[in-house]
Structure 1
Amino acid sequence: MAGPVATKTFKALSVLLAYPTAELAAAAPEIGAAIASEGVVAAEAGAGLAALLAELETADLYDLQERYVGLFDRTRKLSLHLFEHVHGESRDRGQALVDLAALYEKGGLAPATNELPDHLPLFLEYLATRPLDEARALLGDTGHILAALRERLEKRETPYAAVFSALLSIASGPATAIDDKSPDPAGTNDLAALDAAWEEAAVTFGPGASDGCPAERLGTRLRAAQRDMRATTA
């Protein structure tokens, strides 16, 4: 028998990382209620989410959209594509994407989006379909990335940091942010660098794209990357 799930919570957190729209603003109270109903987000993190929800509900929509683009679309260090922070433009990213796509397919998730598999909102959609223990473990494998993103968002004093605090409160195991020494002052627009980094060879998804267990290989790859990054920044 499958264990408990946190479907509403993961779906709600996924939506909070989406591009702001009038529909998202109108749904803010419902999103907050969905997260509260399952009780898997720590109370402190939940308070931070309340501030973000209030801002999404009341702030000017164009200001919200401009801020979102400035944070997540034009700043490479805040990319919502998880493997951007692990593999950058290396060839390893292609295989990691294949593994993640295979994991989604095995779990019965058919993404209705053109986003790459490592897009965090899409990853959360997948976690919403899994037993909570499994979702916690998978989320824990990305903990070092989530912690780094939270720290960078906190430095910019944006309430979006609360989404990452919420995810870290759900994840299994402690997470230590990677100490990235490269300069990235707030407001830096490195869209050209981001575009260049994402110009990669096409990746084939689907049955037969990779051998072995994608979940196990994916977790091993992320944990190895975490150790490597810690070693280079020590």
Structure 2
Amino acid sequence: MKSTAVTQPALVYSVLGALLDYPDAQLLAALPEARLLLNGERALTRESKAGLERFLDYCEARDLMTLQENYVAQFDRGRNTSLYLFEHVHGESRDRGQAMVDLLQMYERHGLFLASGELPDYLPVFLEYLSRLPGDEARALLAETAEILQSIAAQLTKKGSAYGLVVGALAALAGIRGVDTPHEISEDDAQSPPGPADYHALDAAWVDEPVRFGGAPAPAQEPIQFYDRRPGDGAHSTPSRNRSQENRHG
């Protein structure tokens, strides 16, 4: 997260994507800069800025190992809080594979090439892509994920997870009003993993209550649609951060 590489309207997407990525030493070193940049971001509401301040306080109050354990506890246990967007649309069906190929090709047309092991539907990767688009296009594409973001934020808020504040800020950017965010942040996220009954409940919620996108009225249930955009002038290839799940446990 380098300020020299972040310009409007890319700023907010790049910073929030970094905050939602697996924590590392580089992120901790960049927290003061992230605080400054987010405080000056006009696209964020006052409520979102206050929530992000709380999230940054949460990060600064913990050591790296605790942050990493909490991250895994929040995002690697159950589909309802997964940061892989197509899990909320396709699950493990074969449709997800083709959707990933289409999304990856769209990224590459804008000069975003992923490292081996990185999946294109990972939310921080998607936000990196948005940072390369003109502002109106980025906002329109983010809006297509609005109900996914709202659903993830609601689940994180139920857990008292600080990450609910970040996803909630994204949901607000996507056009969702009155997003629920945690009033109190749990101090021991990683110390109370869900039991078997909790996993069954998470899977049941994912199967029985599919998310609708784009404001489609019931009973329509549209999967998220990523539309091809005209590549912007001057697109270039930039190595992306390694976000593969393998690195979370190594």
The TM-score bracket by the shorter chain reads 0.7 to 0.9
- Give the conservation status (yes or no) of the 8 Å contact 2:52–2:165: yes
Name 2:29's counterpart in structure 1. 26
CA-CA distance at 1:32 after TM superposition: 1.6
Alpha-carbon distance in structure 2 between the residues aligned to 1:98 and 1:170: 27
Partner in structure 2 of residue 79 of structure 1: 82
Is 1:40 paired with 2:43? yes
TM superposition outliers: structure 1 runs of 4+ over 4 Å: 172-177, 221-224
Correspondence list, 1:155-174, <5 A:
155-172=158-175
The superposition leaves residues 185-211 of structure 1 with CA deviations (integer Å, 9 ceiling, x where unpaired) of: x83267xx9xxx9xxxxxxxxxxxxxx
State the alpha-carbon separation in 2 of the partners of residues 51 and 67 from structure 1: 16
Whether 2:59 is the aligned partner of 1:53: answer: no
Q: TM-score, normalization: structure 2?
A: 0.68
Unaligned residue ranges in structure 2 (runs of 5+) = 1-6, 181-191, 204-211, 224-250
> Aligned pair in 2 of structure 1 residues 148, 175: CA closer, same or farther (>3 Å)?
farther
What TM-score do you get using the length of structure 1 for normalisation?
Answer: 0.72
Aligned length: 191
Alpha-carbon separation, structure 2, partners of 1:113 and 1:16: 22
Aligned mate of 1:10, from 7, 13, 22: 13
Looking at secondary structure, tell me which structure has more helix per residue: 1
**Which residue in the other structure is 1:188 paired with?**
194
Q: Percent sequence identity over matched residues?
A: 45
Q: Which residue of 1 aligns with 2:123?
A: 120
1:73-222 residue pairs with structure 2 within 5 A?
73-112=76-115, 114-172=117-175, 187-188=193-194
Matching of residue 228 in structure 1 with residue 221 in structure 2: yes
Deviation at 1:222, TM superposition (A): 5.6
Provide, for residues 167-223 of structure 1, a one-character-per-residue CA deviation record: whole Å limited to 9, x for no partner: 12222576999xxxxxxxx83267xx9xxx9xxxxxxxxxxxxxxxxxxxxxxx965
Change (3 A) 1:189 1:76: farther
The whole-number CA distance in structure 1 between the counterparts of 2:103 and 2:46 is 31
Structure 1 unaligned residues grouped into runs of 5+: 178-185, 198-220
